[in-house]
Amino acid sequence: MPLLPKPNFAPRRKMRSFKFFSRANSPHGLRTGANRKPVMSKKEKPSPLKKLLKAWSAAGAEDRQAFLDLVSAEVRARKPAPATPALEPVPEDAANLIANGRYLLPSTIERVEAVMRARKLSPSGVMAELGFSSRDASLTRALAMKAALRLSVIAALADWLTAHEAEG
């Protein structure tokens, strides 16, 4: 079968004729290159402060006083209540506390390090004395980086600390 010639699909430019003058389509109109819409100057919108000042100047004396009362009531409502000293319950064995949850207190860290220096022990040696593996580095991390400890280690450390502080 013979090949037929391809039809010509080239776009045709159609010339429009405008019946009315339009600045957008005028050759002298203002256009931008990106959107081909006319460029218009934008009117600056008033800020909320300017709106408030305009409304204030237009308001009467009663309205102004009502507004001031409303604002002062909101300020009083946002103020914190007078601070009453909140008494936290202090446990009976507060002197014996060595940890806050699973984290050693800074004073406990100092006490443990003092006993370790006096007895020339390393944290792995202390763990061995507590009955845990000497390869367990949790006490080292707790002393150096303030990491969490297991509760069983904290309980054993409390007994160990009271026993060895009494010695030294």
Q: What pLDDT, on a 0 to 100 scale, did the predictor assign at position 88?
A: 59
Length of the chain: 168
Q: Are 155 and 106 in contact (CB under 8 A)?
A: no
Q: Which residues pair with 104 in a beta bridge?
A: 99
The more confidently predicted of residues 99 and 167 is 99
Q: What pLDDT, on a 0 to 100 scale, did the predictor assign at position 156?
A: 93
Q: What pLDDT, on a 0 to 100 scale, did the predictor assign at position 79?
A: 73
Q: What pLDDT, on a 0 to 100 scale, did the predictor assign at position 44?
A: 85
Q: What pLDDT, on a 0 to 100 scale, did the predictor assign at position 43?
A: 82
Q: What pLDDT, on a 0 to 100 scale, did the predictor assign at position 72?
A: 81
Each residue of 118-148: pLDDT tens digit?
999 999 999 999 999 989 999 999 998 989 9
> Among the listed ranges 31-35, 76-80, 92-96, 161-165, which one has the minimum average pLDDT value?
31-35
Q: What is the pTM of this model?
A: 0.45
> What token pair was written down for 17?
């004729």
The more confidently predicted of residues 11 and 44 is 44
Each residue of 58-101: pLDDT tens digit?
999 998 888 888 888 877 777 776 665 655 565 566 556 888 88
Instruction: Name the nearest CA neighbour of 16 among 8, 26, 6, 2.
Output: 26
Q: Which residues pair with 31 in a beta bridge?
A: 38
Q: What pLDDT, on a 0 to 100 scale, did the predictor assign at position 132?
A: 93
**Encoded amino acid at 3, one letter:** L
Q: What pLDDT, on a 0 to 100 scale, did the predictor assign at position 76?
A: 76
Average pLDDT over the chain reads: 78
Strands (DSSP E) contained in 80-120 are 99-100, 103-104
Q: What pLDDT, on a 0 to 100 scale, did the predictor assign at position 9?
A: 64
Q: What pLDDT, on a 0 to 100 scale, did the predictor assign at position 41?
A: 73
Give the mean model confidence (pLDDT) for residues 44-66.
Answer: 89
